[in-house]
Amino acid sequence: MRLFELRGISKNFGAIQALTEVDLKIDAGEVLGLMGDNGAGKSTLIKIMAGNFLPSGGEIWLKGAKVEFHNPVDARRKGIEVVYQDLALCDNLTAAENVFLGREAKRRIGPFSFIDYATMFREAARHFAELKSETRPRDLVKQMSGGQRQAVAIARTRLSNPDIVLMDEPTAAISVRQVAEVLDLIRRLRDQNVAVILISHRMPDVFAVCDHVSVMRRGKVVADKPIRQTSPEEVTGLITGAIEFA
């Protein structure tokens, strides 16, 4: 049974046709690279998979059943976690609060339930350590470096045990060492049988961790190939349109 599949997904924003009949599939323990030029529709596709947008047409299949995500919580409940391109962080909150935003750790005292900061700080520290990131849970995100912010956004996906993790350019705006760590993390997710969809403009990253690569151009998927059967040159050609289809 296939873990996750998009069938003929289309999306238009008024007159703008952002996606046209997109097919995509991924199995557990697989890493899929999603590449394409600016405006190709990658983020839009991710947002449909994450429940931020309803598609204008097409179907989403999860573990052999047709599903509809009406909001991000829907998708998360069904095992899909996302690292958004703009990271979706609140600058005025601490790292730990951002990691737990929307699903805070709580403790009941009588009829009331209060936020359990001790647990949140401890758990966040554990996730940052796993990511080998020097991020302090009590620091405000406002004061953090690009890599630390990235770590906060990625740590969020570790709160649950997701089947699928979607990452929209997780390696943009971070240092070489931190890129290596993010790629390591992706490998670790794969080893735990998680399916990862990685959007990236960085060819080396995609060829370093992905099993498959899908190339999008102007809202359409123009190629879907095992990474061993393609090359950076071919992918570049597909992205720019120098190569029509593959």
Partner 1 sequence: MSVSLEEIAQRREHGPLRHMVRSQPFWVTVALVLICVVMSQVSEVFFTEDNFFNVTRNFAFIGIIAMGMTAVIITGGIDLSVGSIVGLSGIVVGMVLHAGHSLGAGIAAGLLTALACGLVNGILIAYVRLSSFIVTLGMFGIARSLAQVLSENHMIYEFGPDEKLFFALGGGTIYGFANPFILLVALIVVFMIVFRYTTWGRWVFALGGNENAARLTGVPVNRMKLSVYMLSALMAGISAVLLVGWQGAAINAMGTGYELRVIASSVIGGADLMGGAGGAYGAFIGAALIEVIRNSLLLAGVDANWEGTFVGLFIVFAVLLSKFRGMRSG
Ligand X SMILES: Nc1ncnc2c1ncn2[C@@H]1O[C@H](COP(=O)(O)OP(=O)(O)OP(=O)(O)O)[C@@H](O)[C@H]1O
Q: Write out the binding residues for ligand X, residues 10-29 only, by CB under 6 A.
A: 13, 16, 18
Q: How many Cβ atoms are within 10 Å of 8's Cβ, its own excluded? A: 13
The answer to whether 115 and 105 have CB atoms below 8 angstroms apart is yes
In the complex, minimum distance from the CB of residue 115 to partner 1, in angstroms, rounded to a whole number:
5
Per DSSP, the three-state class of 198 is: strand
19: which 2 tokens?
């996606």
Decide if residue 148 touches ligand X (CB under 6 A).
no
139 contacts which partner out of ligand X, partner 1, Mg ion, none, CB within 5 to 8 A by kind? partner 1
C-beta of 18 vs 179, nearer to Mg ion: 18
Decide if residue 106 touches partner 1 (CB under 8 A).
yes
**Beta pairing, strands 212-217 & 220-226:** antiparallel
Decide if residue 40 touches ligand X (CB under 6 A).
yes
Q: Which residues contact 104 (CB under 8 A, 6 or more apart)?
A: 97, 115, 116, 120
Decide if residue 43 touches Mg ion (CB under 5 A).
yes
C-beta of 14 vs 110, nearer to ligand X: 14
The answer to whether 145 and 178 have CB atoms below 8 angstroms apart is no
**Positions in the binding site for Mg ion (CB under 5 A):** 43, 85
**Positions in the binding site for ligand X (CB under 6 A):** 13, 16, 18, 36, 38-44, 85
